[in-house]
Amino acid sequence: MNRHHRWMLAILLAACLPLTLTSCKQTSEAAADEEAGPAKVEHLQGDEPTRVTLTEDAAKRLDIQTATIQEMTINGVQRRVIPYAAILYDTEGNTWTYTNPEPLVFVRHRIVVDFIEGEMAVLSDGPALGSAVVVVGAEELFGSELEFEEE
């Protein structure tokens, strides 16, 4: 009987080993995702200094919302406008906005605001017409970007 129990134990261990290894792999992958954090920051070349990529959970927590850069006729002239809520000011007074070129990816662009009228900002320079800009959650994106720069 003793020999029979040893064989049964060996068979059970052999059957459970793949399950244990799979579980360990999934746990280590989850830990790696947590270590990577909710945001990945990349510094780009040229006028687009930073790209922030969020996890799906981070974007939901921040409640990221976007609007589209539109064209409006102002004083008889077609002008690009964005919601005032899409404008960020840095510590030096420069103006920025985050575009959303693909899901969960946000790129900070320098903009030049000609004037503000009500809830709309009229741009003299900035991203292309039709680009999605962040109107809710931009401050948190900027904060994430600065946090990663300090490390």
- List of the chain residues with pLDDT < 70: 1-36, 44, 46-49, 147-151
Q: Give the model's pLDDT for residue 30.
A: 40
Distance of CA 54 to the CA centre of its chain: 3
Q: Where are the domains of the chain?
A: 1-36, 37-150
Q: Give the model's pLDDT for residue 146.
A: 75
Q: Give the model's pLDDT for residue 39.
A: 82
Q: Give the model's pLDDT for residue 6.
A: 58
Q: Give the model's pLDDT for residue 41.
A: 82
Count of Cβ atoms closer than 10 Å to residue 67 Cβ: 16
Q: Give the model's pLDDT for residue 18.
A: 55
CATH tag, 37-150: 2.40.420.20
- The percent of the chain in helix, strand and coil, each rounded to the nearest 5, is 40, 40, 20
Does the pTM surpass 0.85? The reply is no
Q: Give the model's pLDDT for residue 36.
A: 61
